[in-house]
Amino acid sequence: MCSIKQNLEQVTSQIDSAAQKCGRDAFGVQLLAVSKTKPIEAIAEAIQAGLRQFGENYVQEGVEKIAHFKETQPDLEWHFIGPIQSNKTKPIAENFDWVHSIDRNKVARRLSEQRPADMKPLQVLIQINTSGETSKSGAGFEDVKALAAEIDALPNLTLRGLMCIPQPEDDHQKQLEAFAPLSALYEEMKASRPEFDTLSMGMSGDMDAAIASGSTMVRIGTAIFGARDYSNRQ
Ligand SMILES: *Cc1c(COP(=O)(O)O)cnc(C)c1O
């Protein structure tokens, strides 16, 4: 059995060499540890190994984990990365630091309205559907700029960049092709948005291609925590 600490060393060195290969500084690639379905003990082990940023996909599970670590680990940063139902925005607004998966105005508006006044603005990314018909989640490329303008008008959200989840694909060249349109859009928008600093792309199976394509944040679950077991989820 590999420990989380050993897995993390492996992932960190993979990020380093992927960055080196394309002439990037590895400090420009943040590692978000995706802890969905994993128990508190696994997160505690990851914290012990030095991780501070965690990604969760399910509202209730994420909120429980945040509550668990609130007193003992106040420096953790929690990212909501799953699909958002508009009737579930309140606990997200009240507990998370970041949201990667905003894809429509209704959700953005509710998150801003429900963000408690004593918390920092929610840091958000627009999720873009880069796989066309094969995926339901994410805004269409043609809708991104209008949605960004709508988010700009919301007082309790700060738009930091873009995110995508391409179809799983083993071939490195095809992975690069899947990331290219989002990288191009990110660079274009960043030119007029100084607060844009986050391009959330890359998971365990495609992080090298994501880094080569300019990702600034890879979301890594399996390569850190091992395979997930969904059998306990209803
Ligand atoms: C589960 C998940 C990940 C992590 O995927 P791995 O392949 O386990 O690294 C990353 N991003 C999102 C949005 C996810 O849902």
Q: Which domains does the chain have, with CATH numbers?
A: 4-224 (3.20.20.10)
What was the pLDDT predicted at 132? Answer: 79
- 1: confidence class by pLDDT, cuts 50, 70, 90: low
What is the predicted pLDDT for the residue at 229?
87
Best mutation site among 38, 81, 98, 162 for ligand 1 pocket (most ligand atoms within 8 Å of CB): 81
DSSP lists the bridge partners of residue 31 as 218
> Would the pLDDT of 2 be above 90?
no
Mean pLDDT of the chain: 96
Residue 81 has pLDDT above 90, yes or no: yes
pLDDT, residue 119, reads 98
φ, ψ dihedrals at 22, nearest 5°: -110, 20
Residue 226 has a pLDDT of 95
Taking residues 10-23, what's their average pLDDT? 98
Contact residues of ligand 1, CB 6 A cut-off: 34, 36, 57, 81, 165, 203-205, 219-223
pLDDT(67) > 90? yes
Q: What is the DSSP string of 99-111?
A: EEEE-SHHHHHHH
Find all residues with CB under 8 Å of 72, minimum gap 6, and list them. Answer: none
Per the listing, tokens 């080196």 go with: 20
pLDDT tens digits, 89-106? 999 999 999 999 999 999
CA distances (Å), origin 211, targets 23, 113, 120, 203: 10, 35, 29, 10
pLDDT at 231 over 90: no
Q: Given this model, what pLDDT does residue 233 score?
A: 64
Separation CA 234–CA 220 (nearest Å):
24
Largest interatomic CA distance in the chain? 49
Residue 222 Cα to ligand 1 midpoint, Å, equals: 8
**Cα separation, 127 vs 200, whole angstroms:** 9
* Ligand 1 atom nearest to CA at 81: 13
Question: Whose CA is closest to 114, among 61, 59, 71, 36?
Answer: 59
Cβ proximity of 92 and 85 under 8 Å:
no
3-state secondary structure 124-157: EEEEECCCHHHCCCCECHHHHHHHHHHHHCCCCE
Distance 160 CA to ligand 1 centre (A): 20
* The predicted structure's pLDDT at residue 41: 97
The structure tokens 């066309």 sit at 132
